[in-house]
């Protein structure tokens, strides 16, 4: 866990479960996102012993679920996550107190985007664009 010495905005205690099982690249990337965002990032889960679901990248320590502190629009948050090269990006608009994000280091050239609303997953650019449009209309609220 020597890489933590180079992490500016997080401590291992902010990464629940077992931070030693989280891919150092994932921590470094989210640390750079936090630096650029200028607002705190609150990690909900990264490595998870259950892995969430079969084949989940959480079980490999290559995924993290989190939310940004207030200060950015959901569209700006998405743009930042995209710019930093995460391969999987999911939006959870129903989280409280603020909407949440999932990012991961999945293999392959194709990116995967999704949103989950009312327990139903919708995949692709169109689904995420619709969720971001809704979020943009409700920008003044902490919860979208």
Q: What is the CATH classification number for the domain harbouring 10?
A: 3.30.1380.10
Average pLDDT over residues 97-119: 88
Ramachandran region of residue 55, left (φ > 0), alpha (ψ -120 to 50) or beta? left
pLDDT of 19 over the 90 cut = yes
Give the model's confidence band at 135: pLDDT under 50 very low, under 70 low, under 90 confident, else very high: low
Residue range(s) defining the domain that contains residue 62: 3-140
Domain count, the chain: 1
Number of Cβ within 10 Å of residue 136's Cβ equals 13
Helix (H) or strand (E) holding 82: helix 74-83
Task: Write the pLDDT tens digit of every residue in 21-77.
Answer: 999 999 999 999 999 999 999 999 999 888 677 788 999 999 999 999 999 988 899
pLDDT of 10 over the 90 cut = yes
């Amino acid at each position: 866990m020597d890489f933590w010495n180079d992490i500016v905005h997080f401590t291992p205690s902010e990464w629940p479960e077992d931070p030693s099982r989280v891919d150092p690249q994932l921590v470094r990337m989210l640390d750079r996102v936090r630096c650029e965002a200028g607002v705190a990032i609150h990690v909900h889960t990264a490595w998870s012993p259950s892995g969430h679901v079969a084949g989940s990248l959480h079980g490999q320590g290559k995924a993290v679920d989190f939310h940004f502190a207030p200060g950015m629009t959901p569209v700006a948050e998405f743009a930042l996550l995209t710019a930093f090269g995460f391969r999987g990006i999911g939006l959870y608009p129903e989280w409280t107190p603020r909407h949440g994000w999932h990012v991961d280091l999945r293999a392959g050239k194709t990116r995967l985007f999704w949103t989950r609303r009312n327990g139903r997953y919708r995949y692709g650019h169109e689904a995420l664009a619709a969720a971001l449009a809704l979020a943009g209309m409700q920008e003044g609220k902490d919860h979208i």
